[in-house]
Structure 1
Amino acid sequence: MPTPVLLVAGLHAQARTATVDRLLHDHPGAVAVHHDLRSVATGRVERLVRDRSGVLDLTEIRLAHGCVTCTVREDLLPQLLRRASTASLLVVDLWDSVEPRAVAEAIDREEARGPLRLTAVLTALHAEHMPIDITRGDRLAEAGLSAAGGDRRHLAEVLARQIEYATGLVLYGGDADDEDLSRRVLTHLAPLTPVHRTTALPGVRADALCTVELAERVDPATARLPCDTSTEEITTLVWRRRRPLHPARLFDAVDELVTESVRSRGRFWLATRPERLLAWDAVAGAVSVEDAGPWLAALPGAAWELVSPARRTAASLDWDAEYGDRVQHLVLTGPDLDVGRVTALLDSCLLTEAERRAGPAAWTACPDPFAPLLTLRESA
């Protein structure tokens, strides 16, 4: 019978360690594996294996290439497979800035599914620090948390992905006010994900997680985005429209949009690129706009069979007689968010009625400041 595997992610090492400690305490025979990646850029990684009694193994390993992917492929997976026959539960204690998706998908590969069964992805959060860290615009390297040489990711960006991908969130530390604020923040960032304390963790699932379904929860075309929500000083605004966006006007509004909100994400389309679904992802002032592939309305009907059922369902729910599944669907969250002002700003970026009536041939003449960025990423 496959051994259950549980991932514990999180930037807050103290919260993550407390969560792993609790899992080892609650599950006799459980074993935790952790890789210290502080020196991964030089190809050196320290592997720590422990159970409830203490350290079982502490080994420095050397990798052919210094990266997280190499660590997972060359050492983590072999360790899990080697210990699967003797452990009741395998806990993967991820390094601070590691995003759990890539590790989950590596464990869910066909060759590992016989001996291993991925059952949960938990993200551990320090209740005192999380509401502050989600607003921090500094890079991981500036905080001493980078997972490889040349790691350009931002701290809040990684924290948001750790929160939004998880199947469960665990709060540690802080006082009652910290916990209350953390729960309100998480209501906006991950409203459907259960939140636990380290003292009351969920039981281990009997069935395996499907990482394809986990990915669909966060991928732009199928993401389960939050709804309009207001909890005291925090507001989440959902902006949905059909009319195409004028690229130059949206580009000019980017700075104000990311300043007004702490977290925003979603999918949208530009008048100059009617065939392409674009992904918007911004947190703590850092914004990314990427091409996420074609809208289904831009593909021949036969191509629908080549995409996932979740993608077809999302397109069907969004379908419009004129625009197909093309939609502007952005979700913005921030303290004291001025809903009226942000809505008016976004609405002003849409094509006017006269511009819309001019038709797609005329839209291509619109100046498009996004073109160099999107072209660069398409060719990368």
Structure 2
Amino acid sequence: MSTPVVLAAGLHGAARTAAVDELLARHPGSVAIHHDLGEVTRGRVRRSVRDTGRVLETADVRLAHGCVTCTVREDLLPQLVRLASGATLLIVDLWDAVEPRSVAEAIDCDEARDLLRLTAVLTALDAESLPDDITRGERLHEVGKIAAKGDQRFVAEVLARQLEYATGLMLHGGDEDDHELSLRVLAHLAPVTPIHTVHDLPPITGPALCTTELAERVDPSTARLPADARTEEIVTTVWRSRRPLHPGRLFEAVDELVMESVRSRGRFWLATRPSRLLDWDAVAGIVSVEDAGPWLAALPEAAWDLVSPARRAAAALDWDPEHGDRVQHLVFTGPDLDVERLHGLLDSCLLAEGEHPGHDDPFAPILDIKEIA
């Protein structure tokens, strides 16, 4: 019988610790393992294992390369396998800035599947800090929360990925007003994810999760994007179109689009790159545009069997006789968004009937370098 494993993630360390403490208290025989990455840039990680009442062991781990991936591969996974036979539940208390996806996928591996089963990915959130942190443009190193040498990620970027990947969210701390505001924020950013308080946690020892399905919830081609919504001052709006975007006009509009909203994401296509599905990911004024592979319409039908059923289903829902699955599908969330003006700006970036986009593509330095890499 495999031992259930729960990931507890979150930038807000006090909220995460409270959640781990509650899980340990609710599940006699459970243990929590934590890797302190405070000195990871020096190749040193401090590992601790505890139960509900005491620290069972600590050790310094030396790594050839200071990063989350090698910490998981070289130490976390072997320790989980070692502890599995003596524990009723294994809780992985992730370092503040660790995004849970890479850890979840490492645990869900062939060599450990008979011993371990990943049953939940929980992200703990401090109700007082969440509304501010999702708008913070500081890098992790500016707040002392890096997870690897050279870590250039932003606070809001990491927080968004932690809460959007999770199977459950846990709110802790703050007063009643903080709690209500955080609930409104989460209703827009993660509308289908269950939200609990630390003292009202869901059952977490059931069947194994499928990390492929978890990934499909957030990957550009299959992401479950939020719908239009308005909750008091917070607005989420969906913009869709079948026409291609003019790369020059979109590039000029990027700053205004990302500053207008707190969070935006989705998939889009440029007139100069009709075969490529492009990923739009922006939070707190920082935008990332990446090539996410070909549209299915750009592939020969014989290649469709090589993509996942979820990808084929998503393409079928978006299929158009002229453009196939090519679509502009971007979602923007922010306080008091001027939806009409935002949609008007995006509409102005579309290629006009009979217009040629020219050969200049200001996105090329970004997309071509990433594609080569």
TM score, norm. by length of structure 1: 0.97
Identity of aligned residues (%): 72
**Aligned partners of 1:373 and 1:204: how far apart in 2?**
41
Q: Which moved more, 1:367-376 or 1:180-189?
A: 367-376
**Aligned partners of 1:206 and 1:327: how far apart in 2?**
38
Report how many aligned residue pairs link the two structures. Answer: 373
Q: State the 1:367 CA deviation.
A: 2.3
Paired residue for 1:368, among 343, 350, 361?
361
Alignment-mate amino acid for residue 338 of structure 1: D
1:188 counterpart residue number: 188
Q: State the 1:366 CA deviation.
A: 4.3
Does residue 1:159 correspond to 2:166, yes or no?
no
* Secondary structure of 2:258 counterpart: helix
1:359 counterpart residue number: none
Q: Which runs of 4+ in 1 moved over 4 A?
A: none
Q: State the 1:75 CA deviation.
A: 0.7
Alignment-mate amino acid for residue 340 of structure 1: E
**Aligned partners of 1:61 and 1:148: how far apart in 2?**
15
Matching of residues 142-291 of structure 1 within 5 Å? 142-291=142-291
* Secondary structure of 2:125 counterpart: strand
**Aligned partners of 2:283 and 2:272: how far apart in 1?**
26
1:4 counterpart residue number: 4
2:372 counterpart residue number: 379
Deviations 1:294-339 (A, max 9, x none): 0000000011000000000000000000000000000000001110
2:342 counterpart residue number: 342
**CA root-mean-square deviation:** 0.7
**Aligned partners of 1:259 and 1:40: how far apart in 2?**
33
Q: State the 1:172 CA deviation.
A: 0.4
**Aligned partners of 1:205 and 1:199: how far apart in 2?**
17
1:121 counterpart residue number: 121
**Aligned partners of 2:93 and 2:335: how far apart in 1?**
32
* Secondary structure of 2:217 counterpart: helix
* Aligned partners of 1:247 and 1:366 also within 8 Å: no
**Aligned partners of 2:171 and 2:200: how far apart in 1?**
10
* Aligned partners of 1:6 and 1:121 also within 8 Å: yes
Matching of residues 83-94 of structure 1 within 5 Å? 83-94=83-94
**Aligned partners of 1:59 and 1:366: how far apart in 2?**
58
Deviations 1:141-177 (A, max 9, x none): 0011011111000000000000000000000000010
* Aligned partners of 2:156 and 2:284 also within 8 Å: yes
Deviations 1:76-101 (A, max 9, x none): 00110001001000000000000000
1:101 counterpart residue number: 101
Deviations 1:201-248 (A, max 9, x none): 111242100000000000000000000000000000100100000000
* Aligned partners of 1:3 and 1:116 also within 8 Å: yes
Alignment-mate amino acid for residue 170 of structure 1: M
Alignment-mate amino acid for residue 371 of structure 1: A
* Secondary structure of 1:331 counterpart: strand
Matching of residues 27-42 of structure 1 within 5 Å? 27-42=27-42
* Secondary structure of 2:207 counterpart: coil
**Aligned partners of 1:206 and 1:125: how far apart in 2?**
23
**Aligned partners of 1:143 and 1:204: how far apart in 2?**
32
* Aligned partners of 1:260 and 1:334 also within 8 Å: yes
1:302 counterpart residue number: 302
2:78 counterpart residue number: 78
Q: State the 1:368 CA deviation.
A: 1.1
* Secondary structure of 1:354 counterpart: coil
In structure 1, stretches of 5+ residues that fail to align are 356-361
**Aligned partners of 1:241 and 1:283: how far apart in 2?**
22
* Secondary structure of 1:218 counterpart: coil
* Aligned partners of 2:89 and 2:205 also within 8 Å: no
Deviations 1:327-374 (A, max 9, x none): 00000000011100000000000011232xxxxxx44x2421001111
* Aligned partners of 2:281 and 2:288 also within 8 Å: yes
* Secondary structure of 2:76 counterpart: helix
**Aligned partners of 1:83 and 1:174: how far apart in 2?**
35
**Aligned partners of 1:187 and 1:354: how far apart in 2?**
41
TM score, norm. by length of structure 2: 0.99
**Aligned partners of 2:221 and 2:247: how far apart in 1?**
20
**Aligned partners of 2:360 and 2:339: how far apart in 1?**
28
**Aligned partners of 1:164 and 1:203: how far apart in 2?**
20
* Aligned partners of 1:246 and 1:366 also within 8 Å: no
* Secondary structure of 2:354 counterpart: helix
**Aligned partners of 2:69 and 2:268: how far apart in 1?**
31
1:141 counterpart residue number: 141
* Secondary structure of 1:117 counterpart: strand
* Aligned partners of 1:243 and 1:350 also within 8 Å: yes
